Amino acid sequence: MTIQFSQKEKSLLMDQKEHEEGCVDKYAKYANQAQDAELKQLFTSYSAQEQEHLNSINQMLAGQIPAMGGQQKQGQQAQNQQQTAGGNQGQMSPTVQGNYNQEDAKLCKDMLMTEKYVSSVYNTAIFEFRDTNVRQVLNHIQKEEQEHGEGIFQYMQSKGMYQVQ
């Protein structure tokens, strides 16, 4: 069974395809540029997840509903726990302000803005789709974009890059 998309639906998926391609490339490029090994690893894993988003969008453009794997989710939870543990460690010692790599902080801020934008575009797009399964896939991806934003925030906070007012 293949899904038939309206012109509008198709064009929204094409937009998201472009955004996901941009995210795959940006995270890969920034993983190379990052000085901190932990940030390199974070960006590398997010680049791989953006590739999965891109695959899902391409599958839908081909008329198929992608299977939402539980495996990916488990991996992510483990990663989040790791990040939380790191964050707690940081809170135990006083935060040294300004003692972080300024260029790494710029990469983080840029990706936070990108995730915020991509997430908001998914939110708007979801309202236009007629098929419940398609909405669920888009919603699943959007949730992961929010989790990327959270992961970056937690990294920044643990390094004293993000001062909570």
Contact residues toward Fe ion (CB under 5 A) are: 20, 23, 50, 53, 145, 148
Q: How far is the CB of 80 from Fe ion (least distance, A)?
A: 14
Q: Taking a C-beta distance cutoff of 8 angstroms, is the pair 135, 61 a contact? A: no
Instruction: Select 53 or 159, whichever has its Cβ closest to Fe ion.
Output: 53
Q: Which of 3, 5, 11, 12 is nearest to 138 (CA)?
A: 12
Q: Residue 97 Cβ, how far from Fe ion at the closest point, in Å?
A: 28
Query: By C-alpha distance, which of 109, 113, 114, 116 is closest to 156?
Result: 109
DSSP string of 68-133, one letter each residue: --HHHHHHHHHHHHHHHHHHHHHHHS---TT-S-HHHHHHHHHHHHHHHHHHHHHHHHHTT---HH
Distance in Å, CB of 62 to Fe ion, minimum: 18
Which residue's CB is nearer to Fe ion, number 58 or number 95? 58
Tell me how far, at minimum, the Cβ of 4 lies from Fe ion, in Å: 25
For residue 44 the two structure tokens come to 């590398």
The type of residue at 151 is G
Integer Cα distance of 129 and 92 in angstroms: 47
Cβ nearer to Fe ion, comparing 104 with 145: 145
Q: Residue 38: what residue type?
A: E
For Fe ion, give the closer residue by CB, 67 or 96: 67
Which residue lies nearer to Fe ion by CB, 20 or 104? Answer: 20
Query: Shortest Cβ distance from residue 52 to Fe ion (Å)?
Result: 8
